[in-house]
Structure 1
Amino acid sequence: MIGIGIVGYGYWGPNLARNFSVLPACRVAAICEIQPDRQALAARQHPGARITSDYEDLLKAQDIQAIVVATPVSSHHALTKAALLAGKDVLVEKPLAATVAHAEELVRLAAARNCILAVDHTFLFTGAVRKIKTIVDEGLLGDLLYFDSVRINLGLFQNDVNVISDLAPHDLSILMHLIGKEPASVRAMGAQHGPERIESLAYLHLEYDNNFLAHFHFSWLAPVKIRNTILAGTNKMLVYNDLEPTEKVKIYDKGITISADAKSANKLKVDYRTGDILAPKLVHREALSVEAEHFLDCVRQRNAPLASGLDGLKVVRILEAAQQSLGAGGKRITMGPT
């Protein structure tokens, strides 16, 4: 029986606790929360768990093998570091840390302590992204050309991070999971339209050494909610609409063929191909449940998580480069390997 300790019972903590509490050979042993009203809610929803406001209670508990961190990003480093020093495995909400230096320290510490460090990149565990990963790995799309993503809505405005730090970890984790490569450069531009002096609208642009491009549009100030991604290849193109209730993924047999123009030796001919549209069958299960089960398997078998601390570090490196680019008016920031 694996004992889980959860720190933070605000927005995301209850979802994590609910999923861990129903998995076999696992129990939510304790929940740490400082707000009295959230403590009361945790006690009602998980009467078998100890409720405390002292994080040390979780770190010292012999019946807790893993800590789940579901607090604001500014506290991720300190809470995760303390858990690793106590010998606990950790699942931390995205992003891993607020800075590259903090993320690097956590990755090194987890390795030194032989602890599991996983990052809550939930979208990697959705049926849609798992299917897209299979499609990419099988080469169905051909050579990948570009990744174009839009994640916009009216709200929710944050007061501690900008729209890139808030929303980009979702799409960056998906992109890096699918292609397995880090960008050569990062550029970002944004505008501040909210109550705080932070960007509420932003565009993020990644360039890769093989001419692959990734472009992202993030906004808290849009009249409609859109969660749409295009992944184009030389053979076929894929559209992922996360708001579509059933057919979230569609594969389009569309593309171009470039050949020499028989009428002119100095021109190239472009032929356009339009074929069928395929909506593959997806596994419909709550992604957080799949992720919680996966994390427990990693704890038991000491396997590397699908979204490891190193993967979380790679996302934080892009986020930090994006902040540098924003501060420099959209300047291209060159990236080296992690």
Structure 2
Amino acid sequence: MKTIGIIGYGYWGAVLLRNFSQHKEFEVKYICDRNLSKLEQAKNAAPTNCILLNAPKDIFEDTEVDLVVIATQAAHHFNLAMMALEADKHVFIEKPLVLSSQEAKMIFQLANERDRKVWIDHTFLFASAYQKLKNCLHWGMIGKPLRFHSTRTAFGLFQQDANILWHLMYHDIYILLDLFHIPDKLNSVVGSASIIPNMIDSVLASFSFSNGLHATIHCDMLFAEKKREIVITGDKGILVWDELCQNKLMFYPYCAQYHSAIKKVTYQIAEVEKIQIEQSEALINEINELSKFLNNKKCKVSVNENIALDIINLLESVEARLIEGRICQAII
């Protein structure tokens, strides 16, 4: 059993506490948050013997703590991770890992020097619908992939320390790279900062791959509906993963073919199929794999240093392109 200390008791910190507390391989010894009202809320959810703190010093100094779980605002991830690693703790960091590739390199360098492990919380990779989606692609259900389109939108919940690239688009980037690796070209990016000056709150980015695949990612925090949908089109059909829908994974046996001899496009459309998926919680699946990771066992899914840096490098490229093009600002 691994002993853990959780730093940060916001929305996701509370979810992490619930799931770690219910797992037989982990014991939550500490919960830390500088907001005393949040610690009061944690009392009702924390295990009986759990210690509540408003500063993380005791977590770092406790030799019984194996793993520090960081669920604070993104701007604090780097310093807290470095302090945990310097104290010879393994670290679990919610997304985004950090806000720059330079900080990411420093974290992994220290982890290697201290022989400690870094786990990044890419929760959607552990969703049963996503795992089935990957299998469907591997089996060739849609043929050759032609299009990847992700829509991740909501109304509000602006972050003061991280723009929409690091807050929402981060998910789409790690999913895209997990499925298809690094795109060969960033075609275009448009975005805006409509509410908080210089804080990007909408983005539409286009990527292309050498094999002909084209990817589009749309994220927006001023949208009427919350959407979490990824559509992958191939030359033999379309897969739709909607995390908010009861039928999370659907297959559309739709395809189009151009006949150059007669200069005509023909279409094939069959009945839409619901893909059966296992009922399981993504975070529980992730914690199961985390336990294997900490015990040096083979994991079905994990994020190594190279993958983590690829994700951050791509986000930095998108952000740089937006800055070069001068982000659209609201006219006041």
Fold conserved between structures, TM > 0.5: yes
CA contact (8 A) 1:8 1:71 kept: yes
- 1:295 Cα deviation from its structure 2 partner: 0.8
Q: Which runs of 5+ in 2 are unaligned?
A: 328-332
The Cα offsets for residues 34-91 of structure 1, whole Å up to 9 and x where unpaired, read as 1111222223321321122332211221221111110111111111122222222211
User: What is the match of residue 314 of structure 2?
Assistant: 318
- Give the distance between the partners of 2:116 and 2:144, measured in 1 at CA: 37
Q: Give the letter aligned to residue 18 of structure 2.
A: R
Q: What does residue range 134-153 of structure 1 map to in structure 2 within 5 Å?
A: 134-153=135-154
Name the SS for the 1:71 alignment partner.
Answer: coil
Structure 2 match to 1:12 = 12
Q: 2:323 aligns with which of 318, 322, 327?
A: 327
Query: 2:259 matched to which residue of 1?
Result: 259
Contact 2:128 2:277 in 1 (8 A): yes
**RMSD, aligned CA:** 1.9
Tell me if the contact between 2:75 and 2:162 (Cα under 8 Å) persists in the aligned partners: no
Matched, 1:192 2:193: yes
Distance 2:259 2:144 in 1: 18
Residue of structure 2 equivalent to 1:182: 182
TM-score, length basis structure 2: 0.91
Q: Give SS of 1:276's match.
A: coil
Secondary structure class of the residue paired with 1:12:
helix
Instruction: Map 1:27-42 to 2 at 5 A.
Output: 27-42=27-42
Structure with greater contact order relative to length (CA < 8 Å, sep ≥ 6): 1
Task: Verify the 8 A CA contact 1:106 1:309 in the aligned structure 2.
Answer: no
> Secondary structure at 2:105's aligned position in 1?
helix
Q: CA 1:114/1:326 → structure 2, altered by over 3 Å: closer, same or farther?
A: same
- Can you list the C-alpha shifts for 1:172-200, whole angstroms capped at 9, x where unaligned? 12222222x10223332111211433122
Determine if the alignment matches structure 1 residue 291 to structure 2 residue 292: no
Alignment of 1:211-226 (within 5 A): 211-226=212-227
Cα distance, 1:244 vs structure 2: 0.7
Q: Is the 1:147–1:215 Cα contact (8 Å) retained in structure 2?
A: yes
1:309 shift after superposition: 4.1
TM-score, normalised relative to structure 1: 0.90
Moved more, 183-192 or 63-72: 183-192
For residues 238-257 of structure 1, the C-alpha deviation after alignment (integer angstroms, 9 at most, x for no partner) is 11112212x11111111122
8 Å CA contact retained: 1:34, 1:53: yes
What is the alpha-carbon distance in structure 2 between the residues aligned to residue 143 and residue 159 of structure 1? Answer: 41
Percent of aligned positions with the same letter in both sequences? 28
Q: Provide the residue aligned with 2:85 in structure 1.
A: 84
Note the residue ranges of structure 1 that are not aligned, 5 or more in a row: 332-338
Q: Which residue of 2 aligns with 1:275?
A: 270
